[in-house]
């Protein structure tokens, strides 16, 4: 299928918009052809996943764009990097080790990207609106933008998202197009008591299940009660994108493109229907923990994806009530914008004695921050529990935020319910 370029595209490819734009658009045309796109569309924003250092190639690509005079053409936020630039003292690396990591983050800023360094750009002032075409990297951000907001992006990987930002264009294929946003596989929740939907862990489990079973198909969830807040949907989406390839889900009566089941399916019948019952939830959650109840812990890790202000508003009272003093560090990953608000409002005053350690710009399952890797870490994040054993080699205990605080106070895994 021939790729159609308009006059602007041809001018960009010919270098009329600068060498960096020509270089980026040449890459995009090759990519667009490989995915069967017919042409390109304008985007209103981008979120770049390539701040995480994966080797010299990461830096070489961005610095080439810098050397060519590149600048992003749309508002562009940055995903987490490999170091915490605000709290460098928590990094367990030498200066020589951190230099290329910091340089990669700085090079993106030189292209005009916003130094947000968060995996949750939807929690910032650069949150897109319903129907906007965007080019986002970072799996949890992609599924949140598509599903909860109703913006439109594909699962863009390193370099392609940045090429879209440099050109202001994205290939017109996949989830950018109406026909590919139709729900294909239906997950029907049955047998749940109303109070089950109060539990954050339920949303994590549903996300893991749809990620494991959906493949490339867009899942539809029927029977989910309206969530307490967006953070529960954030957890669902993050888990689904971690355990599978989900870039968009529809929750009937909850997400904006699914007021009814018929709307979610675009009037068609689903390709497959799967019933999800309470036993399925218990089974999938049991597999998240690699350590038994009562096992000693060496740390608690929260905020994957990055903690929102609403989550901080829940956590701080729990800390003040429990006063954990067992010497267990409580790492909380959060975005700069959220952290600035906490400092401005004095929310962290008096929390020093509880082992609280705020992490910005990165995440504790990605880089060398934890003081000990020889024990068990408690978390309330399905994504953290899914990736951390393989990434950094720790054992994991999964539980609610309340469980995590109680475990920090006791120095061992505690589950309150």
The Cα–Cα gap between 380 and 304 comes to: 9
The Cα–Cα gap between 87 and 75 comes to: 26
First and final C-alpha spacing in the chain? 56
The Cα–Cα gap between 121 and 124 comes to: 5
* CATH number among 3.30.499.10, 2.40.50.140, 3.40.50.2000, 3.40.190.290, domain 299-410: 3.30.499.10
The Cα–Cα gap between 289 and 152 comes to: 34
Instruction: State phi, psi for 217 to the nearest 5 degrees.
Output: -80, 150
pLDDT for the residue 196: 87
Tokens of 202: 């339920």
Q: How far is CA 174 from CA 70, 110, 155, 197, in A?
A: 27, 31, 9, 32
Class of 7-178 in CATH: alpha beta
pLDDT for the residue 320: 96
Question: What's the predicted TM-score (pTM) here?
Answer: 0.97
Which parts of the chain have pLDDT scores under 70?
Answer: 1
- Crossing angle of helices 309-322 and 230-243, in 10° steps, is 100
- Give span(s): CATH 3.30.499.10, the chain: 299-410
Q: How far is CA 95 from CA 89, 99, 272, in A?
A: 11, 6, 53
Instruction: State phi, psi for 177 to the nearest 5 degrees.
Output: -105, 145
CB atoms within 10 A of CB 60: 10
Tokens of 357: 């350690």
pLDDT digits (tens, 9 = 90+) for 253-300: 999 999 999 999 999 999 999 999 999 999 999 999 999 999 999 999
pLDDT for the residue 2: 84
Neighbouring C-alpha atoms within 13 Å toward the C-beta of 246:
36
pLDDT for the residue 1: 61
pLDDT for the residue 284: 97
Per-residue DSSP letter, 152: B
The Cα–Cα gap between 209 and 232 comes to: 15
Q: Do 336 and 117 touch, CB atoms closer than 8 A?
A: yes
């Amino acid at each position: 299928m021939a790729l159609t370029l308009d006059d602007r595209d041809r001018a960009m490819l010919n270098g009329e918009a600068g060498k960096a734009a020509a270089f980026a658009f040449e890459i995009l045309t090759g990519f667009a052809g490989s995915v069967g796109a017919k042409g390109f569309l304008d985007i209103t924003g981008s979120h770049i996943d390539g701040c995480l250092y994966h080797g010299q190639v990461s830096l070489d690509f961005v610095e080439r764009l810098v050397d060519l005079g590149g600048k992003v053409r749309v508002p562009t936020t940055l995903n987490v990097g490999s170091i915490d630039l605000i709290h460098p003292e928590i990094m367990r690396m030498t200066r020589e080790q951190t230099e290329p990591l910091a340089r990669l983050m700085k090079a993106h800023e030189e292209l005009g990207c916003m130094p947000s360094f968060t995996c949750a750009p939807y929690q910032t002032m650069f949150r897109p609106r319903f129907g906007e075409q965007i080019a986002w990297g970072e799996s949890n951000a992609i599924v949140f933008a598509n599903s909860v907001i109703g913006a439109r992006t594909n699962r863009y990987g390193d370099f392609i998202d940045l090429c879209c930002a440099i050109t202001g264009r994205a290939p017109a294929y996949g989830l950018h197009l109406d026909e590919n946003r139709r729900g294909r596989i239906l997950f029907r929740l049955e047998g749940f008591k109303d109070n089950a939907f109060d539990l954050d862990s339920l949303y994590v489990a549903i996300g893991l299940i749809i990620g494991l079973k959906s493949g490339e198909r867009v899942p539809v969830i029927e029977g989910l009660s309206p969530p307490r807040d967006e953070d529960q949907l954030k957890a669902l989406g993050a888990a689904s994108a971690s355990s599978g390839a989900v870039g968009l889900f529809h929750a009937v009566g909850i997400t904006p493109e699914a007021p009814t089941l018929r709307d979610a399916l675009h009037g068609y019948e689903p390709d497959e229907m799967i019933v999800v019952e309470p036993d399925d939830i218990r089974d999938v959650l049991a597999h998240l923990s690699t350590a038994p109840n009562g096992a000693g812990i060496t740390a608690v890790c929260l905020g994957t994806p990055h903690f929102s202000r609403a989550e901080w508003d829940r956590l701080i009272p729990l800390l003040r009530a429990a006063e954990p003093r067992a010497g267990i560090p409580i790492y909380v990953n959060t975005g700069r914008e959220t952290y600035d608000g906490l400092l401005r409002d004095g929310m962290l005053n008096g929390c020093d004695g509880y082992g609280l350690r705020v992490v910005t710009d990165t995440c504790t399952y990605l880089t060398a921050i934890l003081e000990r890797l020889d024990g068990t870490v408690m978390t309330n994040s399905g994504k953290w529990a899914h990736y951390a054993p393989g990434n950094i080699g720790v054992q994991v205990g999964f539980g609610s935020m309340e469980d995590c605080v109680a475990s920090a106070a006791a120095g061992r895994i505690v589950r309150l319910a």
